[in-house]
């Protein structure tokens, strides 16, 4: 008792299993926060509750996941077993079983999702460094003397920019710094073109951009080397990438963001009034300030949302719903098992009944009777054959001692009317009728003397 008391006193706390699981769940959710994972979907289950349960795996490990109805409604594609996906998730613990699991908040196909994740990570990193800060922005010249354009020399963006500048200010000199804007090595090519423009100091404003495209097509303008080169440029830069709805890292770092290449040319054209230029510039500065502010506030909202999610009653409700789904699955499996056992019992009973069926017994007895009948016939045939053989042999012996055989050798037998054999002449009198047996018949005669 003393040793046990000492051990008990040395522990800060003695947990129950449920309290331990609850504590571990809080530690996982508070310490790890939100994580991003790439993996393959397997064991995907979508019960009527609307929640999704599945396993996320790679070649060496796997982890159980739950995506509740409120989150999976935002998934824009149809997941299936074998799909490669990128997920945003919170680490948690399913307390009733003590299973470590992920609570999925968003899901995307791996390719698009990975690019979007890289975009968000770089955006947050550069924002934290202050590269998006309004204090870093350089004002555009009120009347540029020479305009530089960093884009593809064969692209539609250059054609649009030249058309606008030619229409609005035909005398404005333009220097094109051709570069790749898509594919492998394009980010380095863009950075080098901006570097050449800064080294030559031939222009007092740069338009950097290209025409529209997919996220992958525009990815060169989301590369860190391009962002840092734009931030380090001594020449003010107008970002003009894609269409108005397209947003890249270059837009956040540039001094001014234009929604399209044509809009960039409009923005720096000298036929705009001074006041309009200032208003546009201030508007762009306000937009950048708002983006910077919203980026910071978004991070705060994400943290607060994470804290709210951990304390929200919906979390407990989701746990209970998951437990209910599990119990439902277990009940269904048990019902199937019981039905299977009963079916096997019925099959065995049917088999036993078939074995003891009167029809089966009658059939067996009929088979036995038929075999006995065949054996009886075979025995009778053998016995008849043996009897015939013995009879033939006896007949041969009888024939050998038969009086008929004697008759055949010329002898005869004489009887009177009474059938008595006549062996002496004294046995007859005149007038007696005699019957003489010979080999081939009988002779009747009357004694005369």
- The answer to whether 357 and 364 have CB atoms below 8 angstroms apart is no
Scan for tokens 């508007």, then name that residue.
283
Distance of CA 39 to the CA centre of its chain: 13
Higher-pLDDT residue of 132 and 110 is 132
pLDDT recorded at residue 367: 87
Task: Give Cβ neighbours of residue 244 (< 8 Å, ≥ 6 apart).
Answer: 259, 260, 263
Read off the tokens for 293: 């502010």
Mean pLDDT calculated for residue range 235-249: 88
Question: Shortest CA distance to 204 belongs to which of 135, 140, 279?
Answer: 140
- Gap between the Cα atoms of 269 and 341, Å rounded: 85
Higher-pLDDT residue of 209 and 244 is 209
Least confident of 172-176, 177-181, 299-303, 405-409: 405-409
214-247 burial, b if ≥16 CB within 10 A, otherwise e?
A: eeebbbbbbbeebbbbbbebebbbbbbbbeeebb
pLDDT recorded at residue 119: 77
pLDDT recorded at residue 271: 62
Read off the tokens for 20: 């331990």
User: What are the pLDDT digits (tens) for 123-180?
Assistant: 888 888 888 888 889 999 988 899 999 999 998 899 999 999 888 888 889 999 999 9
Q: Give the global pTM.
A: 0.43
Least confident of 40-44, 154-158, 285-289, 408-412: 408-412
Q: Where are the alpha helices (DSSP H) in 312-412?
A: 313-355, 358-401, 403-408
Question: Shortest CA distance to 52 belongs to which of 36, 29, 39, 71?
Answer: 71
Least confident of 57-71, 353-367, 377-391: 353-367
- Gap between the Cα atoms of 72 and 52, Å rounded: 8
If one counts every other C-beta atom within 10 angstroms of the C-beta of residue 268, the result is 28
Percent of the chain whose predicted confidence (pLDDT) is above 90: 28
Mean pLDDT, rounded, of the chain:
84
Least confident of 122-136, 225-239, 409-423: 409-423
- Gap between the Cα atoms of 348 and 345, Å rounded: 5
pLDDT at 107 over 50: yes
Higher-pLDDT residue of 320 and 186 is 186
pLDDT at 67 over 60: yes
Banded pLDDT at 362 (limits 50, 70, 90): confident
pLDDT recorded at residue 212: 85
Q: Kindly list the strands in the beta sheet with 441-446, ordered across the sheet, starting from the edge strand earlier in the chain.
A: 413-415, 433-438, 441-446
pLDDT recorded at residue 5: 42
pLDDT at 9 over 50: no
pLDDT at 3 over 60: no
**183: alpha, beta or left, given left = phi > 0 and alpha = psi -120 to 50?**
left
Longest dimension (CA), the chain: 194
Specify the DSSP element, H or E, that contains 103. strand 99-109
- The answer to whether 145 and 118 have CB atoms below 8 angstroms apart is no
User: What are the pLDDT digits (tens) for 419-449?
Assistant: 888 888 888 888 888 888 887 888 888 888 7
Mean pLDDT calculated for residue range 213-220: 81
pLDDT recorded at residue 449: 79
pLDDT recorded at residue 10: 47
- The answer to whether 133 and 118 have CB atoms below 8 angstroms apart is no
Mean pLDDT calculated for residue range 194-207: 94
């Amino acid at each position: 008792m003393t040793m046990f008391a000492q051990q008990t006193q040395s522990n800060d706390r003695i947990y129950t299993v449920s309290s331990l699981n609850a504590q571990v769940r809080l530690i996982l959710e508070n310490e790890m926060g939100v994580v991003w994972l790439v993996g393959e979907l397997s064991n995907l289950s979508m019960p009527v509750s609307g929640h999704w349960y599945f396993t996320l795996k790679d070649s060496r490990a796997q982890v159980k996941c739950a995506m509740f109805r409120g989150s999976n409604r935002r998934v824009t594609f149809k997941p299936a077993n074998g799909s490669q996906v990128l997920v945003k998730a919170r680490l948690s613990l399913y307390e009733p079983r003590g299973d470590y699991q992920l609570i999925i908040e968003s899901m995307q196909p791996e390719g698009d999702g990975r690019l979007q994740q890289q975009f968000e990570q770089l955006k947050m990193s550069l924002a934290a460094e202050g590269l998006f800060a309004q204090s870093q922005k350089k004002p555009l010249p009120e009347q540029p003397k020479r305009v530089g354009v960093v884009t593809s020399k064969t692209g539609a963006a250059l054609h649009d920019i030249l058309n606008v500048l030619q229409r609005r200010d035909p005398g404005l000199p333009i220097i094109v710094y051709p570069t790749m804007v898509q594919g492998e090595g394009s980010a380095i090519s863009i950075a080098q073109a901006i570097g050449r423009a800064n080294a030559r100091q031939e222009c007092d404003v740069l338009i950097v951009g290209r025409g529209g495209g997919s996220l992958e097509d525009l990815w060169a303008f989301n590369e860190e080397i391009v962002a840092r080169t734009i931030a380090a440029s001594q020449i003010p830069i107008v970002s003009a990438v894609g269409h108005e709805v397209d947003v890249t890292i270059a837009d956040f770092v540039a001094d001014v963001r234009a929604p399209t290449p044509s809009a960039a040319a409009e923005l720096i054209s000298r036929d705009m009034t001074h006041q309009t230029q200032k208003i546009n510039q201030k508007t762009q500065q306000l937009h950048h300030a708002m983006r910077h502010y919203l980026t910071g506030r978004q991070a705060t909202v994400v943290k607060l949302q994470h804290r709210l999610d951990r304390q929200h009653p919906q979390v407990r409700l989701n746990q209970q719903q998951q437990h209910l789904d599990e119990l439902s699955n277990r009940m269904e499996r048990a019902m199937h098992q019981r039905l299977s056992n009963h079916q096997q019992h019925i099959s065995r009973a049917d088999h036993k009944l078939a074995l003891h069926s009167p029809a089966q017994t009658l059939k067996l007895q009929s088979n036995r009777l038929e075999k006995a009948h065949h054996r009886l016939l075979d025995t009778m045939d053998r016995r008849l054959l043996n009897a015939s053989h013995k009879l033939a042999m006896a007949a041969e012996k009888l024939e050998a001692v038969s009086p008929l055989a004697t008759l055949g050798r010329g002898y005869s037998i004489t009887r009177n009317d009474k059938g008595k054999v006549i062996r002496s002449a004294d046995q007859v009198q005149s007038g007696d009728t005699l019957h003489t047996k010979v080999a081939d018949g009988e002779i009747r005669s009357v004694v005369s003397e």
